Amino acid sequence: MNPRLKYGKLDWQLIGIYIILVLIGWISVFASVYDEENAGIFNLSQRYGMQFIWIVTSLVLAYFILFVIDPKSYHVIAWILYTGALLMLFIVIFLGVEVNGSKSWFMIGPFRLQPAEFSKITTALALAALMSKHNFKLGTLMSYLKVGALLLAPMLLIVLEKETGSALVYLAFLFVLYREGMSGTVLALGLMAILLFVLTLRFNPFVSIIVLVFIMSVIETINSKRVFTNILFTAIFIPALAYSPRLAELPFLSGFENLPKETWLFVMIIPLIIYQVYRAVKRRLAYLWYLLICFAGSVALIYSVEFIFDTILQPHQKVRIENLLGIQKDLQGWGYNVHQSKIAIGSGGFSGKGFLQGTQTKFDFVPEQSTDFIFCTIGEEWGFLGSVFVVSLFVYLIIRIISLAEKQRDSFARIYGYSVAALIFMHFFINIGMTIGITPVIGIPLPFISYGGSSLWSFTILLFIFIRLELERWN
Amino acid sequence: MGVEFKHKSILIAGIFTVAALIVIQLFNIQILDDQYKINADNNAFRYDVRYPARGLILDRNGKILVGNETAYDIMITPYEVKQFDTIDLCNIFGLDINDVKTTLKNYKKNKRKIGYQTLPFVKQANSKQYAVFLEKAYKFPGFNAISRTIRTYPYNAGGNLLGYINEVDTSFIRKNPEYKRGDYVGRTGMEQAFEKILRGEKGYNIFLRDVHNKVKSSFSDGKYDKEAIPGKSIITSIDAELQSYGEMLMANKIGSVVAIEPSTGEVLALVSSPGVSVDKLATISKYYSELVNDPYKPMFNRAVMSPYPPGSVFKIVNGLIALQEGVIDLDDEYLCRMGYHVGRGVACHAHPSPTNLEESIMMSCNAYFCWAFREILDNKKYPNIAQSFNRWREMVESFGFGHKLGSDIPAEQGGTLPSTKTYDRIHGENRWKSLSIISLAIGQGEIGTTPLHLANLAAIIANRGYYYTPHIIKGSPDTTISADYTQKHFTMVDREHFDVAVRGMYRAVNSPPGSGATAWRVAVEGLDICGKTGTAQNPHGKDNSVFICFAPMDNPKIAIAAYIENAGFGATWAAPIASLMIEKYLKREVERKDLEKHISESNTIILNAK
């Protein structure tokens, strides 16, 4: 312990929220697997007993991080830890035990350890180390290649472990890059790709293309000087597109009735494209070129959705997405989890059924109810009030981390802080989102709350390294 | 600052947007939307299913063919079970103590999986067991009884006709998600055909319970409860007495008897033998493998599924067509010297000769109909045999042959009728003539008719030229029948030609012995039965015994076809059976007790085996 440090300046708000969330988690695990015959909350044969052990050990870890480890060493050991984690991720593919179809767990005696949980920390540290180097500037091709390699390596290994869900979490680092100056276009394109993908799956390419043309028109309008003309043109052109298949009813076009209806869209869009290409060439409008390339890419995406969906995605992933989009309703099979989860949360009503009074989250009606679906117990027993309270805690935690990160003079601490906020945000959004049916079911835990040692340890380490780094500010 | 500041603000706006999305969705499912609170999968509710009584199946006079009896399913909620006297429970229901112990152990093992669920423990306990159980119910916490209905069969009306019900299995539920575990569904016969009418609608009572599974109260004072709606009864056209009489006569015989009311097309009896005994219907699963493996295929409804050669009864159709086509006159006589000796020839039996059409029907002369059939096909009106054959075929089809009649009897089949293509295939294109297919003249060869077809033929002759599509459901306030069933279907033969067929059939039964009449033994004083025998050759053994008839001659009330496999002459088995059934139906009491005894006790299966 360094006596010269002002430990009074520790951010007690973050520590306080951490403790509240961990306690809520413990109580919820207790409630979700509560068994009258093994009622003691410290009973080690039950998950709530084990969770107590994880909490105690997490506090020990937190103590070490706050008072023992020198925060300056993170710059140095970041790469060693990162490489070590990659090695573990690689080895687990061969030596790991299979749990729910994925090989991502080490079995050490009676305990299970998931390297993917810890590699989030090491990746965050390595990213901070890389980007805080004084000669590093995000924007060059080289810089993107380095960052890309750093992020993709663990993601790839985790996909090979068949833990696609955990790999998706790494997309959180895109937010960090965005904060550090990456163009927002990447995020915007990503969002648009998701939107077009969902629209095409839920409806058809016809609808997607009309939406795409609409988005393009809006961007064109923002960039162009002829605002009024553009708005007027869009207002006429979009409905015209929607009705374009009726062109086939024209007498002189009889014989073309059997063409796919998107054909008529293209009949109308292609002259417009030719005109825009002409404009781009003549007036050297760079943004117009980007728009046109973007349009072409989007059309390609729309027509490969079926291929991606049928060939690349695993059957269980397909079903989860179809269930989310309401394309198919299978309440006995894959839709079961979400259906049960929504009943549990929905039946909580405004103020909930009360502690241990949840009927839905007892036994095994909600699967994984102490790990990935722990939010069901909160929703059922504490109702809308309790749920909103937990959501608020998370939002406050994330915002607090971001605002503290912004205050850092050391860019290592700032980048690391953003990574922590982004990772917690991704878990928070996807996990709670899946229990209430707004994101697909991806098996990742709710930070600090879900049952499990790997998860609790890794989030504790993740958060407390930041709290300790933050303290350096007062030095 | 600069771009980083802008990006930070957008990220924070993004976080709040996501948080808002989550809160809106929470508000939606926790406060706005009630469906998650009263969903059947919600464990806070105990749904006690109320099973409806299945509709009855009644005969034409309101007698119950298929009725209901209350049985009790004893249910267990493993979560509520405490120590109890296992032996006592076993004694009440006659259970094996070791089985029960294993079951209970299994429940304990799967405790978490079962949760609060209530599962069936003893199925279909009778009311006596139920009464004993009720008295001691306090000793068995976690057990309760729900009432179900099981089927009863007051008449032996034939398992194939009635069909059976059983509990739905997993594969059935997958295809029909409106059924749930524990539901019963009609699987064959009328139970299956009229499932939608018979099944009724399940109801439920909802109770609210707390986490300890104590039922606290009826939810919202039963506002959301639903009464079970009993299934509707169906009134069939079957005559229960006649049907079970037919079943009795057909005991130990292979074949079927179909009786139709000619003036409506209503099926009065439909017997297929050997069939599934109604004693086995209620608990069919016990006998299932036995029934499936029986070489005589009792589950196969011969009356509507089996295509047989019609034999001599088909001669009437050829005679009528020849008359309609104008190729024979009523007075034309043909000579029969024990057969028709052209080509391969067709043998005949001894009878007075020469004969005209009426006498030929009466005596069933093969030679006459061979001549007549050749006249039809070699008719100069048509340029070639293919066209005259097609004309013949069309007219045969107008009698209902060669296709499904469109009845509401489950699993009805259409039989077979050859086409020019059939003979092109057998003999080569244009390489066949009337003589090549002469077997059709006497109802042999490439023709297959079901007993239902033949009964319909009898009805056509009884009606002098038309039929109503045979059907087994009578219209009632609850069930409307297809409009097609009240429509006359005319044959392509004119009304005036039928009198000679009727007279021929009358004389076949009512002429004195020695006159050449084929069925004089089955005449009944005062009933004016008109009939036609048939002895259809059967490549697999002894001839099939066939008889179609109707009675009385004027204003016929009943038309019957009887078809007995491998039994011999039509006059020996099929005719007496049909005649007895007519007597039963028209007089309600059979006076020919000796004949009845002889027929019902004979075993043609064993006779044939010799």
Helix, strand, or coil here: A186?
A: helix
Contact B115 A384 (CB under 8 A): no
Query: Tell me, what's the pLDDT at A440?
Result: 84
Band (A442; pLDDT cuts 50, 70, 90): confident
Average pLDDT over residues A186-207: 85
- Let me know: does B11 contact A175? Beta carbons within 8 Å: yes
One domain for residues A202 and A174: no
Question: How far is A300 from A208, CA to CA, in rounded Å?
Answer: 12
pLDDT digits (tens, 9 = 90+) for A244-300: 888 777 777 767 777 777 888 888 889 988 988 998 888 888 888 888 888 999 998
For residue A347, the distance in angstroms to the closest alpha carbon of chain B comes to 4
Task: Determine the number of helices (DSSP H) and then strands (DSSP E) in chain B.
Answer: 23, 19
One domain for residues A341 and A301: no
Search chain A and give the residue with CA nearest B209.
A359
> What letters, b where the CB count within 10 A reaches 16 and e where it falls short, cover A162-184?
bbbbbbbbbebbbbbbbbbebee
What residue type is assigned to position A61 of the chain? L
Contact B15 A342 (CB under 8 A): no
For residue A420, the distance in angstroms to the closest alpha carbon of chain B comes to 14
Q: Please give the structure tokens belonging to residue B168.
A: 């739905």
Contact B43 A402 (CB under 8 A): no
Helices (H), A203-258: 205-223, 227-243
For residue B165, the distance in angstroms to the closest alpha carbon of chain A comes to 26
Question: What pTM was estimated for this model as a whole?
Answer: 0.61
A19 vs A139, higher pLDDT:
A19
Average pLDDT over residues A309-328: 73
Query: Tell me, what's the pLDDT at B48?
Result: 75
What residue type is assigned to position B368 of the chain? Y
- Domain residue spans in chain B? 301-468+475-572
Query: Tell me, what's the pLDDT at B610?
Result: 40
Interface of A with B in 415-434 (CB under 8 A): 425, 429, 432-433
Search chain A and give the residue with CA nearest B8.
A179
One domain for residues A400 and A337: yes
Domain count of the fold of chain A: 3
Task: Flag whether A258 is in a domain.
Answer: yes
- Let me know: does B538 contact B544? Beta carbons within 8 Å: yes
For B30, which of A184, A339, A383 is closest by C-beta distance? Answer: A383
How much is the ipTM here? 0.87
Contact B8 A402 (CB under 8 A): yes
Range of the domain at A358: 1-68+330-453+464-475
One domain for residues A156 and A191: no
One domain for residues A424 and A446: yes
Query: Tell me, what's the pLDDT at B1?
Result: 44
Average pLDDT over residues A132-146: 88
One domain for residues A244 and A302: yes
One domain for residues A344 and A261: no
For residue A80, the distance in angstroms to the closest alpha carbon of chain B comes to 30
One domain for residues A49 and A103: no
Contact A384 B37 (CB under 8 A): no
Question: How far is A94 from A106, CA to CA, in rounded Å?
Answer: 10
One domain for residues A404 and A372: yes
Bridge partners of residue A199, in order along the sequence? none
| B350 sits in which H/E element | none
Q: Please give the structure tokens belonging to residue B39.
A: 């969903």
Backbone angles phi, psi at B39, to 5 degrees: -65, 145
One domain for residues A475 and A396: yes
pLDDT digits (tens, 9 = 90+) for A350-393: 988 888 777 666 655 666 778 889 999 999 899 999 999 999 99
A174 vs B: CB within 8 A: no
A396 vs B: CB within 8 A: no
Bridge partners of residue B269, in order along the sequence? B259
- Let me know: does B534 contact B301? Beta carbons within 8 Å: no
B263 vs A33, higher pLDDT:
B263
Residue-averaged pLDDT of chain A: 86
Sequence-separated (6 or more) residues with CB below 8 Å from residue B229: B52, B200, B201, B203
Q: Say if residue A191's pLDDT is above 90.
A: no
Closest of B450, B441, B467, B457 to residue B403, by C-alpha: B450
Query: Tell me, what's the pLDDT at A335?
Result: 64
Average pLDDT over residues A98-102: 73
A363 vs B: CB within 8 A: yes
- 8-state DSSP, B470: P
One domain for residues A473 and A356: yes
For A425, which of B15, B43, B210 is closest by C-beta distance? Answer: B15
Question: How far is A183 from A193, CA to CA, in rounded Å?
Answer: 16
One domain for residues A339 and A425: yes
Work out whether the CA dihedral B220, B221, B223, B224 comes out positive or negative: positive
For A181, which of B3, B29, B116 is closest by C-beta distance? Answer: B3
Task: Flag whether A325 is in a domain.
Answer: no
Task: Flag whether A217 is in a domain.
Answer: yes
Q: E strands of B230-383, at which residues? A: 234-235, 255-261, 266-273, 339-340, 346-347
Work out whether the CA dihedral A121, A126, A132, A137 comes out positive or negative: negative
Contact A343 B112 (CB under 8 A): no
- Let me know: does B357 contact B504? Beta carbons within 8 Å: yes
CB < 8 Å to B10, chain A: 178, 184
Interface of A with B in 443-472 (CB under 8 A): none
For chain A, give the number of residues.
475
Query: Tell me, what's the pLDDT at B433?
Result: 87
For A384, which of B7, B26, B36 is closest by C-beta distance? Answer: B26
- Domain's final residue, options A159, A182, A205: A182
Contact B22 A363 (CB under 8 A): no
Q: What is the mean pLDDT of each run of 10 residues along chain B (610 residues)?
A: 75 93 92 73 69 90 90 84 85 88 86 73 85 87 83 86 87 84 86 88 77 62 79 91 93 93 95 87 82 86 92 94 92 85 82 89 91 91 91 95 91 91 88 88 92 96 95 80 88 94 94 88 92 86 91 94 89 92 93 91 68
B301-468+475-572 belongs to CATH 3.40.710.10:
yes
CB < 8 Å to B41, chain A: 331, 339-340, 343, 365
- Let me know: does A214 contact A238? Beta carbons within 8 Å: yes
Average pLDDT over residues A97-112: 76
Task: Flag whether A338 is in a domain.
Answer: yes
A188 vs B: CB within 8 A: no
Task: Flag whether A317 is in a domain.
Answer: no
